[in-house]
Structure 1
Amino acid sequence: MKKILLGLLIILAGIQHCNSQEQTPERLSEAGEFSGLSIYNLPSRWTTQDNKEIEMKDLKGKVLVMVMIYTSCKAACPRLIADMRHIEQRLPENIKKDVTLIMVSIDPETDTPKRLKAFAKENKMEGEQWLFLRSTEENTREFAAVLAVNYKKITPVDFSHSNIISVFNTGGELTFQQEGLGVSYDETVRNIIAEAAKHH
């Protein structure tokens, strides 16, 4: 299983800037399986801010917009959170139900479901479209590799980390990434809308 997972991660990481449309998500869903480039193949389990356990495949059928953060971050994360809120605000009302905006914690020890729930409330991210996830350190590292996010603990309470927003289509395939803080997210919004429009 480890070798299979490692191979999948290498493949997923390798297409971070590609737009793969080899199979339609509809065909994959009907077949009950996903393309080899889909994060829905990952077996890791995650806990939400509502203390529910899920797998990535439980998110199928939605366009996913993801960032990796940690709630005690005082530098980059508040900007990433603000960017995610602004992206959500710019989505047309008719597609918001087709999009899930996901914050994945890189500090699962601190970011318990209770802490994530409080953080969501503090940042006015309590609607159904917002999802906060935490898992084990191993699962978090593996998933960071898929997103090409690098992070490192530099003090007991601080991490250095990449600032990347990733968009996945409804089949769980990475279609777009935006890197940096304070940059225009027009293209990110266009990509989300385009992916959601394919299923209307």
Structure 2
Amino acid sequence: MKQFITAFFSLLMLFACTEKTIKKAKQQETNTDSIFLLESKWQNQEGKEILLKDLKGKNLVVVMIFTRCQTACPLLVGDMKKVKAKITEKQLKNTSLVFISVDPENDTPEVLKKYAQQHNIYGEPWILLRSDVESTREFANVLAVKYKKISPIVFSHSNIISVFNKNGEMVSQEEGTVNAEAIAKTVNELN
């Protein structure tokens, strides 16, 4: 009888450990914290339609701007350039620097492309994206970025740069005056 009880508890422990391992693996497969679960459609500066999950496999440094901005956005573009300069060459190959427009009605792919060329943020690793108003609002909510149209051509918006790992999980955010070195350090430490 004692052997039966010992065997029973051994099997029970084995089952419990196996069940925990399976549950942990399933949680990793269906991570609900990933931006790649958003099903919104986006257009890049070339007019190519993508889903956010198409960016999977690279670390992302993301900021929301609009091309007609004359105040904070040029500073954010400068901050992103500083971040790029501090990311190691090896890690830069595994990283995309992404600008998301809060003004999709104006910021067409053609406008984004021209903006990218004018500000020397054209080509790898730079990506400029736009979507519809609803998808843009959804993405802003995920980032905790607040924005509001205050005139036909001006938006008030949060100045936040977010870092995502290759699985689309947010690993850090910097708000206000951005510490480019801290953001680059975060990116450089990612797999």
- Same-fold call, TM cutoff 0.5: yes
Deviation at 1:40, TM superposition (A): 0.6
Deviation at 1:96, TM superposition (A): 1.0
Q: Using the alignment, how far apart are the partners of 2:186 and 2:62 within structure 1?
A: 13
Corresponding position of 1:128? 124
Equivalent position SS for 1:152? strand
> CA contact under 8 A between 1:111 and 1:134: conserved in structure 2?
yes
| 2:97 paired with 1:101 | yes
Corresponding position of 1:20? none
Corresponding position of 2:74? 78
| 2:180 paired with 1:180 | no
Corresponding position of 1:110? 106
- Structure with more relative contact order (C-alpha pairs < 8 Å, separation 6 or more): 1
| 2:185 paired with 1:194 | no
Cα shift readout 1:122-148 (whole Å, capped 9, x = no counterpart):
011112210000000000000000000
Aligned letter for 1:129?
A: P
Question: TM-score, normalization: structure 2?
Answer: 0.84
Equivalent position SS for 2:74? helix
Q: Using the alignment, how far apart are the partners of 1:142 and 1:193 within structure 2?
A: 28
**Displaced runs of 4+ in structure 1, greater than 4 A?**
none
Corresponding position of 1:11? none
Equivalent position SS for 2:93? helix
Equivalent position SS for 1:47? strand
Corresponding position of 2:133? 137
> CA contact under 8 A between 1:73 and 1:158: conserved in structure 2?
yes
Equivalent position SS for 1:85? helix
| 2:157 paired with 1:161 | yes
Determine which of 135, 152, 158 is the counterpart of 2:148.
152
Q: Using the alignment, how far apart are the partners of 2:142 and 2:179 within structure 1?
A: 23
Structure 1 unaligned runs (5+)? 1-22
Aligned letter for 2:80?
A: M
Q: Using the alignment, how far apart are the partners of 2:168 and 2:124 within structure 1?
A: 19
Moved more, 135-144 or 88-97: 88-97
Deviation at 1:184, TM superposition (A): 2.3
Identity of aligned residues (%): 48
Corresponding position of 2:87? 91
The structure with the larger Rg is 2
Residue 34 and residue 124 in structure 1: after superposition, are their counterparts in 2 closer, same or farther (change >3 A)?
Answer: farther
